[in-house]
């Protein structure tokens, strides 16, 4: 069976194993970032590959999969290295689990990683027990399906402002400008089973809670 999506499991200290069980399909290629392999095993899932520097977790012994040992001193985080490896393998869809919570700098870095995938025409999302997060770049259009009643927030990311059209939300926008030093995009509500986000200019991080 050809595996069309790569799921990366990180080593967040607040990772919910049930989230992993509920979101991984048999057709997924499972890549664990560093100690994330321990969550995969706890969920009863065999990794296809493990990548990490293992500076804060035990090296995975006796694992029947490919393992890439990274140097501790490097420019990319383990998660970013995993994303780049997925892209080298040709995956155009990536799901990241276990990559939020714990250290705030790592969570923020993973938002940066989402922007990197969007800029390289790869669809990527972070999912945890409370949120779904994705990035958008100029010209992109995304939909929020079957999340009526959920909270939606959008923020400019890596730019001074973004221009966005929102439909299917309590507070719609028609090519509205959101500046990075405001909180205009916070805590909107999804009021349609098919809500749409169109980004006309800039970059954005979107969070569905």
Give the per-residue pLDDT at 2: 65
Alpha-carbon separation of residue 59 from 37, 113, 204 (angstroms): 10, 24, 36
Q: How many of the other CB atoms lie within 10 Å of CB of 34?
A: 25
Domain identity same for 16 and 98: yes
Q: What is the mean pLDDT of the chain?
A: 94
Residue 131 pLDDT grade (very low, low, confident, very high; cuts 50, 70, 90):
very high
Q: Which of 150, 111, 152 is nearest to 134 (CA)?
A: 111
Q: What whole-number distance in Å separates Cα of residue 134 and Cα of residue 124?
A: 6
pTM assigned to the model: 0.92
Write down which residue in 84, 114, 129 finishes a domain. Answer: 129
Domain identity same for 148 and 202: yes
CATH of residue 148's domain is 2.60.120.320
Q: Which of 13, 103, 88, 14 is nearest to 51 (CA)?
A: 88
Task: Give residue-wise pLDDT tens across range 28-75.
Answer: 999 999 999 999 999 999 999 999 888 877 888 778 898 989 988 989
pLDDT of 144 over the 70 cut: yes
Give the per-residue pLDDT at 1: 52
Residue 1 lies in a domain: no
């Amino acid at each position: 069976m050809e595996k069309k999506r790569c799921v990366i499991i990180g080593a967040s200290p607040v990772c919910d194993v049930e989230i992993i069980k509920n979101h991984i399909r048999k057709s997924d290629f499972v890549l664990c970032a560093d100690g994330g392999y321990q969550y995969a095993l706890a969920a009863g899932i065999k990794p296809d590959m493990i990548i990490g520097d293992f500076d804060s977790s035990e090296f995975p012994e006796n694992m029947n999969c490919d393992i890439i040992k990274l140097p501790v001193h490097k420019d990319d985080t383990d998660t970013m290295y995993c994303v780049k490896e997925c892209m080298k393998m040709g995956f155009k869809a990536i799901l990241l689990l276990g990559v939020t919570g714990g250290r705030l700098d790592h969570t923020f870095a993973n938002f940066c990683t989402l922007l990197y995938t969007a800029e390289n025409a790869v669809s990527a999302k972070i999912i945890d027990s409370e949120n779904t997060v994705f990035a958008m770049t100029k010209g992109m259009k995304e939909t929020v399906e079957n999340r009526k009643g959920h909270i939606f927030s959008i923020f400019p990311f890596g730019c001074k402002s973004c221009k966005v059209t929102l439909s299917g939300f309590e507070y719609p926008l028609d090519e509205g400008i959101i500046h990075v030093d405001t909180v205009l995009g916070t805590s909107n509500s999804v009021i349609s089973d098919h809500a749409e986000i169109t980004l006309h200019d800039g970059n954005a991080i979107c969070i569905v809670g």
